[in-house]
Structures are given as C-alpha cells and as structure tokens.
A and B are shown apart, each in its own frame.
Chain A
Amino acid sequence: MNDMTPTAAERAEKLQGMGCKRKRVEDVRFVQGKGSYVDDLKLPGMLYGDFTRSPHAHARIKRIDTSKAQQVPGVLAVLTAADLKPLSLHYMPTLAGDVAAVLAEDKVLYQNQEVAFIVAEDRYAAADAADLVEVEYEALPVLIDPLKAMAPDAPLLREDIKDKTDGAHGKRRHHNHIFTWEMGDKDAVEAAFRKADVTIKELISYQRVHPCPLETCQAVASFDKIKGELTVWGTFQAPHVIRTVASLISKIPEHKIHVIAPDIGGGFGNKVGAYPGYICAIVASIVTGRPVKWVEDRIENLTTTAFARDYHMTTEIACTRDGKVTGLRVHTVADHGAFDACADPSKWPAGFFNIVTGSYDFPVAHVAVDGVYTNKAPGGVAYRCSFRVTEAAYCIERAMDIMAQKLGMDPAEFRMKNLIRREQFPYTSALGWEYDSGDYHAALQKALEATGYKQLRREQKERQDAFRRGETRELMGIGVIFFTEIVGAGPSRNCDILGIAMFDSAEIRIHPTGSAIARLGTKSQGQGHETTYAQIIASEIGIPADAITVEEGNTDTAPYGLGTYGSRSTPVSGAATAMAARKIKAKAQMIAAHLLEVHDDDLEWDVDRFRVKGNPERFKTMTELAWAAYNSPPPGMEPGLEAVSYYDPPNMTYPFGAYVCVVDVDVDTGATKVRRFYALDDCGTRINPMIIEGQIHGGLTEAFAIAMGQEIHYDEDGNVTTGSLMDYFLPTAVETPNWETDWTTTPSPHHPIGAKGVGESPNVGGVPCFANAVIDAFKFLGTTHVAMPHDNWRTWMVADKLGLHG
C-alpha cells in the first residue's frame, strides 16, 4: 500500500526544493580541508613550470640566453618564443578576435609579460632558473594613458598587426586603435541636447581593477603520447570553451582532449580566458612526456591575468527643467591593454555597455566605445558582473546624481521621476534591449522607507549646519542608486563565443531506486551549484535534493556548456535543468498512466507523485515510477529515465535593485566609515535565500573594495605599483561593513522558473552606491564628481581642495 500519511506540505518540505535555505552540500568537504583544488593535484612524475617575465613595459628583445637557467639541477627545459614559433604557438587567438603572445618574440608590451617558461623537477628549481634567464632589452617609449593612445605621435605598440586596417570589429583608424562600437540614434540625441533645458557633461572614469580570487590561475597538463590524448586540469570557469580553444590551438582533436575543472577557489571573471601559462604547461607536457603543473603567484595574478574595467566614459545627460531626462550620450575610451583579450560574446566588443540607460526611461540615447591598446596587461573581463554592466551602472548612476545636483533635486526623487514604470514592461530601451519585468518604483519606495531616507536627509542637513558652525569635523553622505542588470547571456541570435551559441545545458539521469545525477555545462566557483541545481530538480520532479548528485567541470561527462560568468548559471543552466526535469516528468506521467490504467490527462502532479484526478488515494510516487522505468515500462516505450536539455534563452534576464548607503567622512583624515548599507535585490524567483544572501554579502564586499580602494595602478614608465596584496586593497573583516539585505520578487516571464540570477547584482549596484555616498558628503560644498577609489588619501585631497584644512 502507498503511504498517504504525510501531507503535501510535509512531503514538499522533505524535498528541500526551491525557496528553502538548504545547507550547502559542498561545505562538508570544504570545512574539513578536503576540497580538491588544482594545486592539490599530484601526479606521478609531475614537473613544475615557472615564467621569466619582463621588467619593462615596452622594450625590444635583443637577445635571450637560457644557458645558465638550463644548468640549474632539476631543470628539464627552458622554452622561449623560438621554440614555440615552429609550432605556431608563440601567439594564441583571443576570444575578442585578436591574438596574444604566449611567449614574447621580438618585443614585450607590458610589465611581467611572459618571456621564457622553465620546466623543472620542483617549483623551487623552476623559480631559481627563471631568475637566471638572461634577456637583453632595448627600452621603448611607454604608453599608459588610454586617452593619449590615438594621438598622432603615440608610440606604435603592436608591430605584429601594424598594417592590419581591418580589425575584428571593423576598420582600425590608428595603430593603437582596436575598434569603435556604436549604438543608438546619434541625430535624435543631438536634437534632444539642442532642445534641453539643462545638460551635464562629465568624464567618469572607472579605474583598472583586478578580480583577485583567493586562488590564483593554475593548471596541470598531462599528455599521453601512446593514446595521443591530453588531459588538462585547471581553474576554468568555462571548461568546454577551454577544450575547444585547446583543440583549435594544439590541433589535437577535441575528443582526445579532456578538460577538468575541479573545485575552484573563486573566479569573479579572472578564470574565463586562456592564458600563456595553460598553453606553456600543455606544450611542456607534450615535449617532456610528463605532467606539468603551472601555478601563478599573486603578483603574477594581479599583473598579468585578466584585469577588469579601465573605462573612461564622457557622459552627457539632457533634461527638462522639471527633471525629466530627454537624452543620454556616452563616449567611452576603453583601455584593453597590449592585446585585445576581452572576454565578451563575439559580437559585443564593448560587452552589454548599451545597458547604460540603466533603469530610466530615456527616449533617445547614443553610445560609442573606442577600444585602444596600451602598455598594460591584456584582459577586460567582467569582474563579478555581466559584460561591462558594472561600468554602465557606475556611469549612469554617477551621472544621474550629477544631474540631480544641477537641478537642485533630491537624487532619490529625481530617480523616482525617471524610472521605467511597471506598465511599460516588457520595455524596449533606447539602446535596444528588451527589459523583461520589473516594478522599479515599488522597490525604490521600499528601500527609502526601510532606511528612513527622509530622516537621514534631515540628519545630514543638521550635520552640515553643525560643520559650518565648527561643531564637528565629520560630514555625512547618503548614496542612493537604482540599478538594472542584464544577465543570462544569451540568445543564440546575438550571443556566441568563437561561433558557439551561448546556450547552456543540463543532463539528468534518474537511477532505478529513485536517486539521480545531474550534470551541467556550467562550473561553480563558490556559488553553490551542487546545492541549488538539486533544489530546482527536487521541486520539478519530486526527488529529494539530498538524493541528487550535481556534477560539473568534467568535459567528458558534462553536456557542452559555455560556463559560469555573467550571472548566467541560473538564467541559462538553471532553465536547462528545469526543462530536462520536465522531460523526465512527462515520461514519468506516461509510465504512471500505464501503471494506474488511466489516460495521461486523468493524472495530476502532487509534489512528488502523479495521482488520479478526483481519486487521490490512487497515485504513483516518483520513486516508484523510476523503478518502473527500468522494470516495467509501458509497451513500446524505451526503458530508462533520463533527459538532456540545451537551453537557448529567448531573452536576457534583468535583475534590479535599490541600494542606500550612509557614510561618515572625517575631513581631517579622509577616513570614511560606512554606517549603514541597505541592499534590496529583485532576482526574480528565489531558489535558495541563504545562498542569495551570501552572494549579496560577497558582491557588496567586492563593490566596497573597488569603490573604496582597489586600483591596478601604473606609473608613467609602466611599472605596476599595486602588484601585491601589500598595495592592492582586499578588505579584511575589520573594514568590511555589516550588510542589510532585502528583496522584492518579480519573476522573469520568459524563464521556466522565473529566476533572473543574482551573483553579480550587488557588485553592479554597490560600486556607484558607495561612490555616490562619499561624494554626497561634499556636495553641499559644490563637489560634483570625484574619481574612484575613494581611499582616505583621495578623500582627504577632496577636503583639502575645498579648503577645509584651513
């Protein structure tokens, strides 16, 4: 007899499906030190690789002498460009349609560029030998400022492509020009500006930063000469893409390449691309016939693999006198460093920067981005954001504050007046996006009420009066922002990487006893996929989440997927998971109909079972149906119970949120203290509120780091002056504020479970919120804009320039 005792609610609770704060599956191994990260891997006969790097930012290589390095005991090989060139491996293709040097041939283009690769029996010998490679350089003029890159007399950086006038994204106008990308109606915008009552114009720069995950980039390559097969374990956010790239570069057939991404110690965009270290480890393994491990140190990580931002956005808003925006114009100079290794979908050289109209109803807008080369490390990854969305959000949220200030309006009121209204969704923006859903006014209203915004403004006014009277040396700043993210790349009609559409995938197999394994094309780096994907399946087909294994990162077993970045796992693979589960459920329904001797349509779903309509005592649980699928399938039906889904999203998803930050600023020290930070996020349907909250805490902390201290800074000679954790700001528990989180729920109408993705929202919204708060403290003294990062020194300088130090 079937057990009818538990109620539907009790059965649902047991599943630990969507909406519950399920504890993480991953944690059991991580808290015991039993995670399995790349550097934990130890293979018999494994060798270690290390690089000799350039001290110069721009120099011609006159001579490389590896003889002393080769004599170090334990050294097996020293590779230079001369060794890679016969294999055509001294350059590798980038995701952006450019090439990047693997090992420098004739010249170096940025400090710490890879020049020689040492292969040795242990990492100490490799490091010893790296110091003994002798390279004679002839220094060349250095170009660091992207705003000077296209000056007529700017130094020629890329001699390898100097005659190439056609770039991957159209004509190149200058030897340091990569592309120009434009969107919107230029003429209509010009007309709007001619008619405008009020306009603002500001150069809003977003400094170069680095994602800096706690685990650096690393790989182990092992080539089996007998089978002709290559296995690569690595810190890969997108393992399948790495396999395809490795095959294209090495000419090893793709079925003979096995890429495995084990546990990853944070990615934040840093681990999307392919780096010289991976290529050199692969080549070294082929040359030596032994496995080769390459592990970046922190300085190498910060100075060579994948920076983010470095966007310089001249921003103009046109507006009516009563505060209605009528036009937006942004011209951006994008510093891509020495090679265009930006990790964007192929057709989007500036990512989704055209989300720059933000959450506001701009009737017209125009945006142009010029990508340029400089003597800096290549990259341009999305550091905890979808492609260039943080840049766009910072740009518009700063500009909206500047306009509100000029109008003499409260920045929250000005935003309220211009937010896209609920009835306008689905909303087509002036720059071409179709926003799926939102209730922006309700979200902002909730945020203002939760923080007592009006009272905060009164308190600020009192503080300013007290400051003027000389009673306090502390100012108070209030930052308020509203952001719209664009994530879940993306629809095959406009999103691909190397020609591969940006779908994602899930394969689910139900075992005869009713447990299951799910394999996905994405790759968690801390997001908790092993926990949350199982929750989706549990809710869809009534198998307890604890009975579902989730596996990612092995290209031999997982269906092809484009990986985890740009908050795409939930919007794309999460959708694939639900769709695959629904295929299984459909088959299970037919089996249930057969066993219960009724028509399919006479059955209804009830948490974990199909029951006969009007006769709930007659049912078959999913566990029973799984057994039946292998034991007694209906006549003519294939046995087994599994499904795969490749999900091509019909649209992006558009998470949004309203944030409020309160800071106190000591004008004599420049020290800022975040008194309060409130974050309201709407990510659509919420799968695991505990994990969502964790993602928001983490994203806000990274936003705090960027806004208040992070910068990859170069001096005029091209030396990186912030290349270690001594100088590159990672906040500790002491500096990091407490976070207040809140939410509204507006499901995505086109997503199977209505989820929108959340991991990156807090970084997108957080950065402008901190910046707006710090600048807001000085607004009553006339300050309109201050560049990030708002560290104590820069904030002190603001006060000093205002004459506040007497």
Chain B
Amino acid sequence: MAKTQIALTVNGRREEALVEPRTLLVHFLREQLNLTGAHIGCDTSHCGACTVDLDGKSVKSCTVFAVQANGAEIRTIEGMANPDGTLHALQEGFREMHGLQCGFCTPGMIMRAHRLLQENPSPTEEEIRFGIAGNLCRCTGYQNIVKAIQYAAARLAGTPFQEAAE
C-alpha cells in the first residue's frame, strides 16, 4: 500500500515517517517510534488505554490515523516525567495512592488525568470521575485513582493533600 509522509512532534522531538494511510496512530507510536506506553485494550475506543495528548486534547490513539496527526504535537506517558527525571506529580500520585495494579490502563489514565487537570486544576471527586469516564480500569475500582488525581492536583497547586475521610 502506498505510503504517506508525515511530520509531527512527539514528546518535544520532531519525527518524520512514512506511514500507510490506514495506519492507526497507536500502532505508529508503538511500532514505529517504539513508544509502547500507550496500550491497546479494546480496538473500539471504549477503554482509553491508548489515550495520548494531541494538540492539547485527550485522544484515543486507536481511533486516530497517523496521517491525521500530521503536523500535530503529541505527548505520551514517556514524556510525562519532569525534565530532571523525577516523576510527574500524577505519576507520583498514582504510586502514593495505590492508583494502579496491573499497570495496563495506567499510561492512558495518567494522560487523561493530565489533560483534565490542565482544564480544571482543582476538580471535585465528581468532576474527576466524570473526567476519566472514557478510561476503563479492571483492577482498582477507581477509588484510589480518584485519590491519585486529587493528590496530583494538590501537589501541582502547592497545597498539602488531604485524603477525604471514608
């Protein structure tokens, strides 16, 4: 199949590549750029394990063609750590609050939470739950994911995190 030239920025790095027009963005990221943090869980845009940030929006990269990302700026989980190599507040929050178990949904969940906090830096529990409703987790029951995002929101705002009483 004829290939198309694309150029895009991924985690601050300019990438140029030839892709089939039907190549999905998630396959391009995982197989051509070797960024395997975005996972494939359902193929039908339900689970959100493949969520990445594309031009300031959360997208499910299994439902975007790589050619549609031509010229775009993309951020994946691999680009989330702080420049000094320490964990981003969300990555830290997920670990501190036990917001992950098998880890398969985690990269997509963190990327979604990242965009959510960009849009709403101090979300309520309800807003968090609604905001991550496009990302499925089979292990945690979400309660600790919600706490992890609250933890990160507090850290990013420079305020102490207070766990809500159960």
Contact = CB atoms under 8 A, between A and B. Distances in A.
A307 to B, nearest CB: 16
Given A694-B140, A694-B144, A698-B138, A214 B49 contact: yes
A803 interface: no
A34 interface: yes
Interface in A15-45: 23-24, 26-35, 37, 39-40, 42
Contact of B102 (A216, A526, A697): A526
B60 to A, nearest CB: 12
A733 B145 contact: yes
Interface string A682-705: 000000001101110110111000
A739 B133 contact: no
Contacts, number: 179
Interface stretch (B2-10, B34-42, B66-74, B153-161): B34-42
Nearest to A128: B1
Contacts of B106: 30-31
A730 interface: yes
B117 to A, nearest CB: 15
Interface in B77-129: 77-78, 80-81, 87, 90-92, 94-96, 98, 100-107, 110, 128-129
B146 to A, nearest CB: 7
Contact of A214 (B44, B129, B136): B136
A697 B140 contact: yes
A690 B107 CA distance: 21
B101 A214 contact: no
A690 B103 CA distance: 16
A736 interface: yes
A725 interface: yes
Contact of B98 (A214, A694, A732, A734): A694
A297 interface: yes
A730 B138 contact: yes
B142 A733 contact: yes
A39 B31 CA distance: 10
Contacts of A734: 129-130, 133
A754 B138 CA distance: 29
B128 A725 contact: no
A437 B95 CA distance: 34
Given A694-B144, A697-B141, A33 B41 contact: no
B166 interface: yes
Contact of B104 (A29, A266, A527, A739): A266
Contacts of A264: 102
A629 B94 CA distance: 40
B47 A35 contact: no
B102 A215 contact: yes
Interface in B36-58: 36-44, 46-47, 49
A264 B102 CA distance: 7
Interface residues of A, number: 57
A213 interface: yes
A695 B98 CA distance: 10
A724 interface: yes
B16 interface: no
B13 interface: no
Interface string A235-276: 000000000000000000000000000011110100000000
B20 interface: yes
Interface string A118-141: 000001100000000000000000
Nearest to B43: A297
Nearest to A700: B141
Interface string B6-36: 0000000000000010110001001100111
A352 B100 CA distance: 31
A472 interface: no
A546 interface: no
A220 to B, nearest CB: 14
Contacts of A697: 140-144
A525 interface: yes
A53 to B, nearest CB: 15
5 contacts: A31-B92, A31-B110, A265-B102, A698-B141, A725-B42
Interface of A: 23-24, 26-35, 37, 39-40, 42, 123-124, 212-216, 263-266, 268, 295, 297-299, 525-528, 690-691, 693-695, 697-698, 700-702, 724-726, 730, 732-734, 736, 738-740
Given A26-B103, A298-B41, A733-B130, 7 more contacts: A33-B37, A34-B78, A39-B40, A42-B34, A263-B102, A266-B101, A295-B40
